[in-house]
Amino acid sequence: MIEQVTVVANAAYPLEGILTLPDSHTEKVPAVVFVHGSGPLDKDETVGVNKLFRDLADGLANKGIASLRYDKRTCTYGKQIIQELGGRLTVEEEIIQDAIMAVHMLKKDPRLDANRVFFIGHSQGGMLAPRIDAEGGDLAGLFILAGTPRTLAEVIINQNEDSIKQLEKSQQEIALKQVKELQDKFDAISDMTDEIAQQTVLFGSIYAWYLKEMKQHPIKDYLLQNKKPIFVIQGDKDVQVSVEKDFNRYREMLKDRPNVTFKLYPGLNHMFMKAVYGTLKDIWEEYNIPQTVDSTVLEDIAEWILSV
């Protein structure tokens, strides 16, 4: 059963959402809020022709778990936000405020168990999960799906470096120069005043302040301070985050926490679907092959929620 809802953390930016409920239930059920990866993504987290959040929402409802998914603020109001905020945009306005409001909506719903509201953050959403919980999410537990404990700047540079390795030799020199220029821009951010950072465009519509503000709130600190149950998962064929630099780093950082679970899925990509090409240069072609979320991932998420 689905219901159309509106997430309103800021009156200027109401967001269309879908509350998915189990078809039959006699008592209050657990629920999850989905929070997107980077970019202007819709409520289903549509990437290419695939829809990670829709697949998970439908599958979890069949397991007796409700969920709320909604359009990202930059999906619905991208141009407006750029005009109004410009270089002052941070993850607070783009992601965190709406995620916290979505959690509060679920906690107020009398059909749902307010003490069992969880958070499923994918990619950048997973990266920010501990910060969202600390800033007012007050969740029962966190799922970090293909997240990273690194800075966004590190991830961007590493992705570019990986892409270069897949280029022809003749193209590599030009690309390496471009990455060096981007690294120089990132290195300069720490010496910028907040005002200068809000005026400095790095690339596209991304300003230096967006990265500087995130660096002022180290993910590692939030992660280590968080005492909630956490489930960290990743596909071993994910080319957008790294097993070595991300999944294994989470495992090392949280190795002494008995309430943290880790699982690496063989053969799955960043969307937790079967990896077809397994290379960054072909990833968009891969995402345009219709697939659904691996059933084992869905089973594991549902089982973990029902066990907490």
d(CA 90, CA 172): 33
Residue 69 in domain: yes
Residue 94 in domain: yes
Sign of the torsion formed by the C-alpha atoms of 221, 222, 225 and 231: negative
Residue 178 in domain: no
- Paired residues of 235 in beta bridges: 265
Q: Write the CATH number for 298.
A: 3.40.50.1820
Residue 88 in domain: yes
Residue 17 in domain: yes
The model's pTM is 0.93
Write out the residue range of the structural domain in which residue 234 sits. 2-151+210-307
For 26-68, the pLDDT digits (tens) are 789 999 999 999 999 999 999 999 999 999 999 999 999 999 9
pLDDT for 56: 98
pLDDT for 280: 86
Q: Strand, helix or coil at 12?
A: coil
Residue 48 in domain: yes
pLDDT for 269: 97
State the DSSP H helix or E strand holding residue 24, giving kind and residue range, or none if neither. none
pLDDT for 170: 66
d(CA 281, CA 287): 12
Q: Strand, helix or coil at 44?
A: coil
Contacts (Cβ under 8 Å, ≥6 apart) of 22: 1, 29, 61, 62, 63, 64, 65, 66
The tally of domains found in the chain comes to 1
- For helices 124-132 and 97-108, what crossing angle results, to 10°? 70
d(CA 103, CA 135): 12
150 near 123, Cβ under 8 Å? Answer: no
List the chain residues with pLDDT less than 70.
Answer: 165-167, 170, 172, 174
Q: Which residues are catalytic?
A: 123, 238, 270
Within 10 Å of residue 233's Cβ, how many Cβ atoms?
23
Residue 76 in domain: yes
Residue 180 in domain: no
